[in-house]
Amino acid sequence: MDINLSSEDLAFRDEVRSFFEENKIKSGEDYFSWRLGWFKKAREKGGWDVPKWPEKFGGPGWSPTQHYIWEQETARANIPFDLPFGLGMLAPILMNYGNEEQQERFLPDIRDRQVNWCQGYSEPGAGSDLANLKTKAVLSDDGTYYTVNGSKIWTTLAHVADWIFCLTRTDDSGIKQQGITFLLFPMKQEGIEVKPIITLGGSHTVNTVHFTDVKVPVENRIGEEGKGWTYAKGLLEHERTGLAGLSKSLVELEQLKDNARSIKRGNGNLMDESSYKSKIGELEIDLLATEFTELRSLASAAAGGEPGPESSILKLKGTEIKQRIQKLTVEASGIYSSAWGDKGVGPAFAKGGTAGYLNSRYFTIYGGASEVQKDIVAKKVLGLTKGSSK
């Protein structure tokens, strides 16, 4: 595969690097003021604040190769944090299926980072089997609002979110993929209870959310009633591609190798040990092979294609690779990786090593568990069906 960049692409890469360098945070500067200022300057560049949005909605209109360059450079640079729920997940749904009033109502605040969103998909009995969801939305007799009852689980940042985009069941008379409706509603209202879930690593990012007689105006429904599964599938394909995190893994792998070289072993260092070096080599080969799959996906996008089953391959392999990086970080840290809390012991990179490893366990669960991704690959790529053998 020819992955050489054109002169135009190289010029674009240099422009991106210059922008990052010129606008990096200065010593003593307030982070949140810098963050908002950074996005304002990125917007003035012509949609760089919303790189994945189409030109019609204010995005930059980049080629797939330019998007790839952006991902590579942002993985290396110190840029402001950005939550994916509004910008990368809900926004495409609004653009493709929302009406003009909904687009004008919600997209500006999403772009300005003024509203935090969370995703109401998984439920206690409907995680990987998402179509089995039970949260009900009943339309009022006058057709003006829905009443929502049920629960969601593993809802990331629900405790700080202003709004939620939520899959609800409005009809259970047909197959389970039918009768699902996509609703938007505020989190700070009567009838919504958020309970924290503390993960193995000791952090609070996910929650259980309970809905009791929550009223949702019908104008907050995206698209048609009962068509929410169609909208959700498109969102998940884009989400899974992003969850692979290959650009960041490439940077983290280089950092891991540098850290391993700082660990003394006899007259050499950890990277001189054949067993550890072999594990790093296997990981690097898998990562580069997965990156080539991403490049093939980019080539398809350049020809006008949409994310397909390759998004499941990328999510499956990309999250496994991230777990392996965490595991090898713990191995490099040795006994120091078990240090917990604010006080680190041993090399700086070892601090929180175990917490990072434990948290990485959910990488292969969120966004569709690995077992689900393997089913998709088996059906869509290998052409296998139930009862078939090859």
Task: Taking residues 149-163, report their average pLDDT.
Answer: 96
Q: Is residue 102 part of a domain?
A: no
Q: Which member of 237, 239, 291, 310 is catalytic?
A: 239
- pLDDT of 301 reads 60
- Sign of the alpha-carbon dihedral angle for 206, 242, 290, 380: positive
Q: Is residue 103 part of a domain?
A: no
Say if residue 127's pLDDT is above 80. no
- pLDDT of 355 reads 81
Do 132 and 54 lie in one domain? The reply is no
Q: Is residue 267 part of a domain?
A: yes
Do 269 and 165 lie in one domain? The reply is no
Q: Is residue 232 part of a domain?
A: no
Q: Tell which wins on pLDDT, 214 or 83.
A: 214
Do 119 and 223 lie in one domain? The reply is yes
Do 132 and 248 lie in one domain? The reply is no
- pLDDT of 108 reads 97
Q: Is residue 144 part of a domain?
A: yes
Q: Tens digit of pLDDT for each residue in 333-371? A: 988 887 765 566 788 888 778 888 888 887 887 777 778
Cβ–Cβ under 8 Å, residues 225 and 170 = yes
The domain of 297 spans 244-380
Do 255 and 200 lie in one domain? The reply is no
Do 168 and 252 lie in one domain? The reply is no
Tell which residue, 257, 244, 156, 240, has the closest CA to residue 197.
156
Phi/psi at 34 (5° precision): -65, -40
Do 254 and 215 lie in one domain? The reply is no
Q: Is residue 335 part of a domain?
A: yes
Look up 15 and say whether it is catalytic: no
- The span from the CA of 329 to the CA of 252, in Å, is 10
Task: Taking residues 222-228, report their average pLDDT.
Answer: 95
Question: Which positions ≥6 away from 347 have C-beta within 8 Å?
Answer: 259, 262, 263, 333, 336
| CATH number of the structural domain spanning residue 351 | 1.20.140.10
The number of distinct structural domains making up the chain is: 3
Phi/psi at 159 (5° precision): -75, -15
Say if residue 305's pLDDT is above 80. no
Task: Taking residues 224-238, report their average pLDDT.
Answer: 81
